[in-house]
Structure formats: C-alpha cells, structure tokens
Amino acid sequence: MTYNNLEEKPLENKGIEPKKGSGDFSSIWDFITEMVKFTILSLVIVAPIRIFIAQPFLVSGSSMDPTFADGEYLIIDELSYYFKDPERGQVVVFRYPNNPSKYFIKRIIGLPSETVIVKNGQVTIKNDANPNGMKLEEDYVKNIDTQNKDVDTKLEDNEYFVMGDNRPQSSDSRDWGPVEDKFITGHVVLRLLPVARASVLPGQK
C-alpha cells in the first residue's frame, strides 16, 4: 500500500510545557493500534487477491520447453475463467486430475465436445465447424513426439485436452486423459523471473 507524503507546518509553541513522561504510553498504544489496523487492512485487500485473482507459481520440469523453463516464476490469473471459458492455445495451470494436490502447467489443445486426434505428432481437431478435421499449426512446439502417443479422444462438454509444448518430455492428456474444467486454476499472465525473460501473457499463441 502506498501513502502520499504530506507536508506539515511545525506546531507553534504556546508556552505550555508538557509534563515529563506524558504521552509516552499513548504514543506506543497509538502505534500498536495503527499497526493492527494496517495488518487487518492488508489482509482484507491482499488475501482475496491472493486467493481469488492471482497466484504465483514456480515452473518445475521441462515439459513446456522452450516456452517455459524450469525455475521460472509465473503469475496466474484466476479471475478470468469465472466470466469466460478457457480458449485454445492458452497456457493454463490446473490440478492434476489423478492427484489434485499437484499442479501442472500445459497448453489447451482441445475444447469441450471436440474430438482430438494426435497421429505422428500432428494434431487434428474435429468439431461442428470442422467436421472433417482441422490441422493445428503449432509454431510453439519445437520438439515433436512421433512415438507411441497417438490418440483419438472425444471430449465431454466439461473437458479440455491439454499438452506440453515439449511433446517428447510431457506427461499430458495423451497419457492420463482430458482435464475437467473444475480442475483448471487459471492461465499465465506474467512471467516475472528470470528478469531477462520477463513478459506479459508469455507463451500465448
């Protein structure tokens, strides 16, 4: 919280001498009272932001290389998905469906009710607008996985198909299935560290 500095005029001496020791206890008590007020106000303002709006996360592992590297410090927007649905191409943080105490970071590839086909590293999406299939152009993928992870998955109306950008090194929906919307925490809005790679909406297509 930022406070503006105020210029105050010195109090004029009216010839009344304060008694020795007067005001000492009052000053300490006022200080404690102000600190308590400041602490409560900080909690009232900061706690909802921390819980409902934005959270910091530290990347662990190489499944999103080169988009996100191990040890990078990210800020996640948790508020937007209360008002709109996740979009294809967004990098999201979610609770791992098989162990909700763990958080994963991946990219949304397939949307609810779509069919996702992965074959020889190529992703094809079938939906109402593209019944014959639409091949995704994925310039964010530098390492294509062409071995043993071919899938053909029809998503339910509350499911998303997610994949890591570093396809050979990513455990994702190809291995353990789609992610229900209730597990999605939010999407990446800021990369704070390292400073040399600091950016807004990093990794968004």
Gap between the Cα atoms of 13 and 59, Å rounded: 61
106 is annotated as an active-site residue: yes
Active-site residue among 63, 149, 170, 173?
Answer: 63
Instruction: List Cβ neighbours of 105 (8 Å cut-off, separation of 6 or more).
Output: 57, 59, 63, 64, 68, 74, 91, 92, 93, 188
Task: Output the pLDDT for position 12.
Answer: 41
Helix or strand run (H / E) with residue 102: strand 99-110
Task: Output the pLDDT for position 89.
Answer: 94
Q: Domains of the chain, with CATH numbers?
A: 53-195 (2.10.109.10)
Q: What is the pLDDT of residues 38-75, one digit of tens each?
A: 566 544 444 444 444 557 888 988 999 999 999 998 98
**Residue that is written with structure tokens 């400041």 in the block:** 38
CA 63 → CA 36, 37, 49, 107, 162, distances in Å? 45, 45, 28, 10, 12
Q: What is the pLDDT of residues 86-118, one digit of tens each?
A: 999 999 999 999 999 999 999 999 999 999 999
Active-site residue among 37, 106, 113, 119?
Answer: 106
Q: What is the pTM of this model?
A: 0.73
67-104 burial: b if 16+ Cβ within 10 Å, else e = bbeeebebbbbbeebeeeebeeebbbbbbebeeeeebb
What pLDDT band is residue 201 in, cutting at 50, 70 and 90?
Answer: confident
> Which residues on neighbouring strands pair with residue 76, listed in sequence order?
55, 188
Gap between the Cα atoms of 32 and 49, Å rounded: 26
Helix or strand run (H / E) with residue 151: strand 151-154
Q: What is the pLDDT of residues 39-49, one digit of tens each?
A: 665 444 444 44
Task: Output the pLDDT for position 22.
Answer: 47
Contact between 171 and 145 (Cβ < 8 Å): no
What pLDDT band is residue 26 in, cutting at 50, 70 and 90?
Answer: low
113 is annotated as an active-site residue: no
Task: Output the pLDDT for position 125.
Answer: 97
